[in-house]
Amino acid sequence: MKTIAIIAHDGKKAEMVQFLNENRDALQSKDIQLIATGTTGAKTEIAGFNVEKLLSGPVGGDAQIAAKVAEGLVHMVIFFRDPMDKHPHEPDIFMLMRICDVHNIPLATNPATAKLLIQGI
């Protein structure tokens, strides 16, 4: 089973849900488990996906996902970042991106890259 972590900043949550819906067949495979930060996970559930929800990003959800990456429990991260807004948990975001690089975990920060990663499953 492959675990995919999904995260979206507030300004990108609708785009994330749209992406998930467009890739529903691949993502609802029995071989895929979704985990998400809190609010992204809640919106994902409303869209009809099964997802394990962690803390909200600003209160530790990004760090929780980074820890799972470091433990080898996450195989891909899709993180729709809002580059036009400031985020108080920016250090956690950079730490997550660094951990993905250290552990050679695919990380998509926009829909075009995420689509390529999903097609590669």
Residues 6-31 have pLDDT tens digits of 999 999 999 999 999 999 999 988 89
Q: CB–CB of 76/105 below 8 Å?
A: yes
Active site residue 62: yes
101 phi and psi, to 5 degrees?
A: -65, -45
Tokens of 43: 């919106």
Q: Judge whether residue 70 has pLDDT over 80.
A: yes
Rounded average pLDDT over 109-117: 97
| Domains (range + CATH), the chain | 2-119 (3.40.50.1380)
What is the percent of the chain where pLDDT is above 70?
100
What is each CA distance from 35 to 55, 72, 78, in whole angstroms? 11, 14, 10
Separation of alpha carbons 28 and 51, rounded Å: 10
Identified catalytic residue from 10, 25, 31, 62: 62
